[in-house]
Amino acid sequence: MCGIVAYLGKQKAEPILIKGLKRLEYRGYDSTGIALIENDELQVHKKKGKVAELETELSAQSFKSSIGIGHTRWATHGEPNDVNAHPHYSADQSLAVIHNGIIENYRSLKTELQKKGYSFKSDTDTEVFATFLQDVKTSNDLNLEDAVRLALSRVVGAYAIVILSKEEPDTLIAARKGSPMVIGVGKGEYFVASDATPIVEYTNNVIYLNDEEVAIIKSDSLEITDLKDIPLTPKIHEIDIALDEIEKGGYEHFMLKEIFEQPKSIADCMRGRLKMPEQTLILGGIQKYTDALIQAEKITFIACGTSWHAGLVAEYIFEEFCRIPVEVQYASEYRYRNPIVKPGEIVIAISQSGETADTLAAIEIAQRRGAIVLGIVNAVGSSISRVTDEGAYLHAGPEIGVASTKAFTAQLTVLSMMAIKAALLKGTITDSTFRELLNELNDIPAKVAKALTLNDKIKEISATFKDAHNFLYLGRGYNFPVALEGALKLKEISYIHAEGYPAAEMKHGPIALIDENMPVVFIATRDSSYDKIISNIQEVKSRKGKVIAVVTEGDVLIPGMADYTIEVPATHEALMPLVSVVPLQLLSYHIAVMRGANVDQPRNLAKSVTVE
């Protein structure tokens, strides 16, 4: 949730930290701060608001420090304000700490420290940890790294933490448990960050810190140990992220850039997997468990938010083509519901970030009970990609906009490829259906590109509805999860209340909401439920609802009934969500922009939900 960045090297740390924080701001953006060593003093500068505001405030000063830590916050303990912003000093101001995660036993640690006479300025668990660390260090007469290991062994909860000490001004200590942390290894310099985005312009060599590992970083050495001080040999990975992938590239917002990137991201996702001349489909990442997949008595998808919607589409696809019963579970519920898992059962975790705490916890439970867990993940090297038994990356490139767009279509692409391949191997589809689906998949990037040409029209429709207070999204079959996704996109970035429903469910309740002020978005492309959804459109029109319909190109019936129609190219109905979701992404984007909302950083949200 929060963004962490730290630097130790020969360059000035402050501009590197500020730039890094800007790159990480999508992870949390309610307050920000940095700590530096200036003239042998540990200085903390922090404030409520965006990184740019801190940057302006610091611009009058010049800093020499070549070591420093920085943080951009998504509040968990205490409201977003200057005092609760990170870094936090220890009581004696000898240490500064930045932290992502939640220290669950902070209340008992705080009481213990208060009994010893310590007091606290903020409401945060992090300040408690900083002072706890100081106390552990001084009471046991330890050096910093031993003190960190001892203190962390008493911490319950999740953390990615970096510590800067006035007494050891050439050392950074970083540690993680349950929250992501990457170390960039440059020439004579080191970077620490929540993900690789602040690092890639300096080095491609990174180390992914594992849970309960502690990194002791000095200008000329990097040592990694576990909490018991056993030395570990870190593995250096080479990452492949181009700088333009994490920049806006002329677009007004990352979200718009990512919506428009979809023809490419879907093609990237299929590259090397879907081979048209040979008419083959190869998903290298899940080869070991292919037999288990096709013999599965049940598949369970676990995910949150948009990724959960991708799981719902997959439910339809796997059931239709593979004839395997599918369950789709919110990871946050699965982890607490005592799930029935047969040994060898297939569980598929879907996650853009690969760091969602609920999904990670659900994976752990499934694995503990004997399931084979496959991961469908975008972020390379992320925790979910590392803890799952096998998996397939999306290869959609970094997604920075908080509202997920290109990751969703890439998830659908991977899941469709998996289902189609499994169905062929299982014999539940014929060779000719397989080839037909392959051809359709191959055409999807072009069809998405065509759907994107509707941008201007969708912008006009958006202007009509930008002041609406509510929206209803209705779809059937494969387009039902698309309705849910359209509604989620709208509410998270425009703050308009929106609900998605299976269209036939409308008459069981939501129809009471329909009047002349209610925009209803129908995803009514030509498929097996087309005739049925037409009846649903009529039900809305006869109650004076305003209908915006996403239809298949050439539809002659619905344009005569709907107030606005958006025509998308035809494809196989199982693949239609890849195309029909695009106008809904654009609709939410334009409405949000017209309402003056911060599209890339919507209020209260963060890109990667690494806390429960």
Smallest distance, ligand M6R to C-beta of residue 310, A:
8
C-beta of 119: minimal distance to ligand M6R in Å? 37
As measured in angstroms, the least distance from the Cβ of 27 to ligand M6R is 11
The total of other beta-carbon atoms located within 10 Å of residue 443's CB is 16
Stated length of the chain: 612
Active-site pick, 46, 166, 491, 607: 607
Applying CB under 6 A, which of residues 165, 404, 494, 525 lies at the interface with ligand M6R? Answer: 404
Applying CB under 6 A, the site for ligand M6R has a residue count of 16
Encoding tokens for residue 377? 């993940």
Of the candidates 57, 51, 59, 40, the residue with the CA atom closest to the CA atom of residue 17:
51
**Annotated catalytic residue 304:** no
Spatial strand order in the sheet of 221-226? 88-89, 95-100, 159-165, 171-177, 213-218, 221-226, 231-232
What distance in Å separates the CA atoms of residue 474 and residue 471, rounded to the nearest whole number? 10
Interatomic CA distance for residues 181 and 160, integer angstroms: 6
Calpha distance 416→412 (Å, rounded)? 6
Residue closer to ligand M6R by CB (options 387, 518) is 387
> From residue 524, how far is each of 76, 342, 566 by CA, in Å?
41, 39, 10
Q: How many helices (H) and strands (E) does the chain have?
A: 18, 27
Contact 6, 98 (CB under 8 A): yes
Closest CB to ligand M6R among residues 270, 488? 488
Contact region with ligand M6R (CB under 6 A), list: 70-78, 175-183, 402-410, 461-469:
402-410
Closer CB to ligand M6R, 502 or 602, in the complex: 602
Clarify whether 269 is annotated catalytic: no
Tokens 């490139």 correspond to: 397
Interaction with ligand M6R in 587-606: which residues (CB under 6 A)?
605
Among the listed residues 371, 403, 483, 558, the single contact to ligand M6R using CB under 6 A: 403
In the three-class reduction of DSSP (H, G, I as helix; E, B as strand; rest coil), residue 213 is classed as strand
In the bound state with ligand M6R, the residue whose beta carbon lies nearer, of 124 and 359, is 359
Q: Give the shortest CB-330-to-ligand M6R separation in angstroms.
A: 10
- Does 197 help bind ligand M6R (rule: CB under 6 A)? no
On whether the CB atoms of residues 505 and 477 are closer than 8 A, the answer is: no
- Considering only 126, 332, 353, 588, the residue that binds ligand M6R (CB under 6 A) is 353
For residue 365, which amino acid is it?
Answer: I
Please report how close the Cβ of residue 285 comes to ligand M6R at its closest, in angstroms.
17
Q: Which residues are bridge partners to 472 per DSSP? A: 499, 520
Using CB under 6 A as the binding rule, whether residue 399 contacts ligand M6R is answered as no
Tokens of 494: 């425009």
Q: Which stretch binds ligand M6R (CB under 6 A): 132-140, 210-218, 335-343, 397-405?
A: 397-405
Point out the catalytic residue in the list 2, 269, 304, 322: 2
Which of 259, 537 has the CB closer to ligand M6R? 259
- Which of 359, 385, 388, 580 touches ligand M6R by CB under 6 A? 359
Residue whose C-alpha is closest to residue 173's, from 144, 207, 199, 134 = 144
Please say which residue, 44 or 365, places its beta carbon nearer to ligand M6R: 365
Binder among 412, 444, 609, 611 for ligand M6R (CB under 6 A): 609
Identity of the amino acid at 17: L
Give dist(CA 73, CA 512) in Å, integer.
Answer: 41
**Which of 356, 413, 529, 552 forms a contact with ligand M6R (CB under 6 A)?**
356
Nearer to ligand M6R, 329 or 352 (CB): 352
Q: In the set 306, 385, 409, 494, which binds ligand M6R (CB under 6 A)? A: 306
SS3 state of residue 242:
coil
Measured CA distances, 448 to 262, 409, 579, 581, 610 (Å): 7, 10, 5, 9, 32
Binding mask 491-520 for ligand M6R (x = CB under 6 A): -x----------------------------
Q: How far is the CB of 304 from ligand M6R (least distance, A)?
A: 4
Kindly identify the residues of this chain, within the stretch 307-336, that bind ligand M6R according to CB under 6 A: 307
* d(C-alpha 397, C-alpha 241), whole Å: 8
Question: CA-CA-CA-CA torsion for 365, 370, 371, 376, nearest 10 degrees?
Answer: 60
Task: Name the pairing type of β-strands 88-89 and 95-100.
Answer: antiparallel
Helix (H) or strand (E) holding 31: strand 31-38
- Return the range that interacts with ligand M6R (CB under 6 A); candidates 71-79, 119-127, 213-221, 346-354: 346-354
CA dist., res. 392 & res. 537, Å (int): 39
Using the contact rule CB under 6 A, the part of the chain among 36-44, 285-293, 361-369, 399-407 near ligand M6R is: 399-407
> Could you say whether residue 305 binds ligand M6R (CB under 6 A)?
yes
362 binds ligand M6R (CB under 6 A): no
**DSSP three-state, residue 146:** helix
Q: Does 429 bind ligand M6R (CB under 6 A)?
A: no
Q: Which of 327, 269, 322, 261 is nearest to 294 (CA)?
A: 322
Residue number closest to ligand M6R, CB atom: 305
Q: Least separation, in Å, of the C-beta of 388 and ligand M6R?
A: 13
Task: Report the catalytic residues.
Answer: 2, 607
Interface residues with ligand M6R (CB under 6 A) are: 304-307, 351-353, 356, 359, 402-404, 492, 605, 608-609
